[in-house]
Amino acid sequence: MVSFRLQSFEYSLDRGDRIATVGDPWRAFARENGAPELDGDAVLGNSVFDYIADEPTRSFYQRVFEQVRATDRPVVVPFRCDSPTLRRFMRMEVRHLPPCGIGLKSILERVEPCPRQTLLDAELPTSESAITMCSCCKRVLIEPVGWLAMEDAARQPALVGTDTRPQTRYALCPSCGRLAG
């Protein structure tokens, strides 16, 4: 297990789901992970959905936000925010901020080193092939087998021994899709 300090990254949305505030840890995480385009001020006023690449995940979070606003009860979404050499296990606490805003707090719960995951290595050239990866748990859909852990999927014959990474389509696996009800 890698030594890490407990971190949380907070931001809020206005009633139109535009990013209203971001905390300093968010800014630092964006810089540390080579994403200056996500560094605080650059995202303020933009729709949070501008930063979610796929329709299934956008729809999932729209349902979560609607549920939180309608019930005034928080929802917790577990997810992974991996890098090529680290598994980051996180949870996002989604809560209502009256009158209609949303508060989001992503908490880094655990970090584990892992062998380099070529499926996540942005430094590799992209191939013509494509995979479907769950945007929450990072499992990969391998037909006809089903949803596999990323490490197991990477050992599948079509993905082994290449110096490229496949294009990634994000979706939600059935288990993660049930989280928003």
- Look at residue 29 and give its three-state secondary structure: helix
Residue type at 57 in one-letter notation = T
Phi–psi pair at 174, nearest 5 degrees: -55, -40
Strands 140-142 and 126-134: antiparallel
- The rounded mean pLDDT for the chain is 88
Q: Could you give the residue ranges of the DSSP H alpha helices within 8-157?
A: 24-32, 55-71, 150-154
Average pLDDT of span 34-45:
81
Average pLDDT over residues 150-178: 85
pLDDT band at 87; cut points 50, 70, 90? very high
Which domains, ranges and CATH numbers included, belong to the chain? 7-115 (3.30.450.20), 118-171 (no CATH)
- Grade residue 36 by pLDDT with cuts at 50, 70 and 90: confident
Residue 4 pLDDT > 70, yes or no?
no
